[in-house]
Each structure stands twice: as structure tokens, then as C-alpha cells.
């Protein structure tokens, strides 16, 4: 197969797939939260994902080998994603309006670009920076128009969401650096394992404190919860995180982070087609801005890479 396909187009295809999976994950998360508490859903999501990868490892379908490798960097990476990111996100969303949460999460590509320039020396061109901003403004435009910019949110919640944004930014940098020593599946496995351990500890502790530990196994007897766990654990965790780590091993963090904004478009389409939510003109305008941002950031990133290789 053409080497150019592996180096340029396959990572972009992985990024698009990740965006689609994460976009639909909002539907399944909402379904799961109808019957489960946030950390209970996270606990079973990451437990199922870890078991799935472990089974694939036992049967030799995937190869994971940490012998002689500095695994501490992966533990540090897992601290930021999934642990801190999901704790900040779940807590922050509960404390603020959806518009405020959407605008804060939309800042992830900006933080990734800044951190990548500082720690990875991946300095974006002015044109790339311009398209990153366009993509971010596309997300902000949709959330502001959709919710009429509700400014009554909790200021503490804004700072909590900022923690999620920073965690995602640091994760992108650490994953890119880790890709020099670990395969994407090795990074993904540690992330899922740590997520399963931490979120199960949180969930079990909360059930014990509230005196209803018998509710912990509800997901195993509820069809709606099981469907959510299968999607979130199988696709959103195993497949999506693997592809995300693969993409970060191939292209600059600033370019890959912009793909996250496509999730906004997918979630809108899923809502319109499946949940029959209304579709307005500003969805079209914002979506065009996001697509332009993703295209421009990657187009000029590839062009920059080609110019450097020809120099």
C-alpha cells in the first residue's frame, strides 16, 4: 500500500472515526444515565473495555509487552485521561449550563496547540492557527446560538471544566511523547485499566457511604444500561481510544486535536435523526466552520511537512 496513505490519510481516517464514535456516545451516555449514576456508568464502561482488551490479549489477537519499558509515563498519562478528565467533565457539566460546558470543551484544540508548541516544539503555522480558531469558533457559535448563552452558570463549575480542558491538552502531549516508546494498543490498555480501577473505587465507595451497595450491580440486570455500557466500553473506549492514540503517534497534536470538534457535528446529526431534535440554520453555519477548520489545519500541516522534507 502507498506509504503516503499510512502516514497522512490513515491517521486522518482514524481521527474521523473517533469523532463519529464520540459523537454518538452522547446518545448512549444519556441512555445510561437514565438508570445509573455517573461514576457507576464510568466504572462499568471501563471495566468492560478492560476485560475486552484482556480477552483479545489472551487469545493473541493483540500484542502487549511492557517489559523493559518505562511504564510510569503511561500511569502519568492515564491520570490525566481518563481519570482527571472524566472527573472534571462529569462534575463541571453538573455545575454549569450546557452552553458553558460546550464552550469550555471547545477550547481543547487551543490548549493542545499551545502545549504542543511548548513541549513538543510543534509550532503551528499562522494559517494552521487561523483554521484552529475557525473550528473552535464553529463549536462556540453552535452552543451559543442553541442555548442563547445562558450566563447564570456556577463560576466554580467553569474552573472545574477548565480542569477537563487542561487534562485533555496534557493527555494529547503525553500520548504523542509516549508513542515513541509504546504501541497505541499498549497506551490504550493502561488507560482503560487505570480508569476501571479508579472509577470502580469511587463508585463502590459512594454506594457504601450511601448504604446501597446492592445497587452496584444494577447494570447487569438492566437492558438499557447494558446497551450503553457495550457501546461506551467497546466502541468509545477500546476502538476510539486506540484510534486516538494511533493518530497521535502519526500526526502533530495540534492537527489531531481539531478532529474533536467534528464530534459536535455528529452529535447534532444523531440528535436530529434519532432523537428528532430540531435543526436550525446556525447548525449549518457552525458545522461549515468546523469542517473548514479541520480541513485547513490538516491541509497546511501536510503541506508544511512536505516543505520540510523537501528542504
Can you spell out the DSSP letters for 4-21? HIIIIIHHHHHHHHHHHH
Residue-number span of the structural domain to which 173 is assigned? 3-310
Query: Helix 155-178 to helix 240-250 angle, to the nearest 10 degrees?
Result: 60
Q: Looking at the 3D structure of the chain, how many domains does it have?
A: 1
* Cis-peptide into 197, omega within 30 deg: no
pLDDT bucket at 84, cuts 50 / 70 / 90: very high
Assign 234 a pLDDT band (cuts: 50, 70, 90): very high
pLDDT confidence tier of residue 283, bands split at 50, 70 and 90 = confident
Among residues 74, 82, 92, the alpha carbon closest in space to that of 45 is found at: 82
**What share of the chain in percent tops pLDDT 70?**
86
Average pLDDT over residues 103-127: 79
CB atoms within 10 A of CB 214: 8
Alpha-carbon distance values, 116 to 99, 105, 148, 234, 303 (Å): 27, 18, 33, 29, 18
**What is the pLDDT, as a whole number, of residue 48?**
95
Judged by average pLDDT, the poorest of 71-80, 162-171, 234-243, 264-273 is: 264-273
162 pLDDT exceeds 90?
A: no
DSSP 60: T
Nearest to 51 by CA among 176, 212, 219, 230: 230
Average pLDDT value over all residues in the chain: 82
What pLDDT is attached to residue 99?
53
Q: Is 70 buried (19+), middle (13-18) or exposed (0-12) by CB count in 10 A?
A: exposed
Q: Which three-class secondary structure state does DSSP give residue 223?
A: helix
Amino acid at each position: 500500500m502507498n506509504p503516503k496513505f499510512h502516514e497522512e490519510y490513515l491517521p486522518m481516517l482514524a481521527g474521523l472515526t473517533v469523532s463519529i464514535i464520540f459523537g454518538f456516545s452522547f446518545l448512549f451516555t444519556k441512555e445510561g444515565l437514565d438508570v445509573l449514576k455517573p461514576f457507576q456508568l464510568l466504572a462499568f464502561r471501563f471495566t468492560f473495555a478492560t476485560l475486552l482488551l484482556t480477552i483479545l490479549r489472551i487469545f493473541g489477537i493483540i500484542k502487549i509487552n511492557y517489559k523493559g519499558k518505562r511504564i510510569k509515563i503511561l500511569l502519568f498519562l492515564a491520570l490525566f485521561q481518563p481519570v482527571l478528565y472524566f472527573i472534571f467533565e462529569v462534575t463541571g457539566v453538573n455545575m454549569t449550563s450546557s452552553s458553558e460546558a460546550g464552550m469550555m470543551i471547545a477550547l481543547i484544540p487551543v490548549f493542545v496547540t499551545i502545549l504542543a508548541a511548548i513541549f513538543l516544539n510543534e509550532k503551528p503555522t499562522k494559517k494552521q492557527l487561523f483554521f484552529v480558531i475557525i473550528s473552535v469558533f464553529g463549536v462556540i457559535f453552535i452552543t451559543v446560538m442553541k442555548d442563547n448563552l445562558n450566563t447564570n452558570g456556577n463560576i466554580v463549575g467553569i474552573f472545574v471544566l477548565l480542569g477537563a480542558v487542561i487534562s485533555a491538552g496534557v493527555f494529547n502531549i503525553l500520548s504523542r511523547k509516549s508513542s515513541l516508546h509504546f504501541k497505541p494498543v499498549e497506551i490504550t490498555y493502561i488507560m482503560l485499566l487505570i480508569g476501571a480501577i479508579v472509577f470502580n473505587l469511587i463508585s463502590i465507595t459512594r454506594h457504601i457511604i450511601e448504604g446501597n451497595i446492592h445497587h452496584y450491580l444494577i447494570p447487569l440486570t438492566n437492558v438499557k444500561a447494558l446497551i450503553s455500557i457495550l457501546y461506551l466500553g467497546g466502541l468509545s473506549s477500546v476502538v476510539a481510544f486506540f484510534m486516538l492514540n494511533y493518530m497521535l503517534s502519526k500526526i502533530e497534536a495540534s492537527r489531531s486535536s481539531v478532529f474533536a470538534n467534528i464530534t459536535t457535528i455528529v452529535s447534532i446529526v444523531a440528535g436530529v435523526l434519532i432523537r428528532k431534535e430540531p435543526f436550525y440554520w446556525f447548525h449549518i453555519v457552525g458545522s461549515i466552520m468546523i469542517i473548514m477548520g479541520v480541513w485547513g489545519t490538516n491541509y497546511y500541516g501536510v503541506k508544511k511537512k512536505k516543505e520540510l522534507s523537501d528542504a
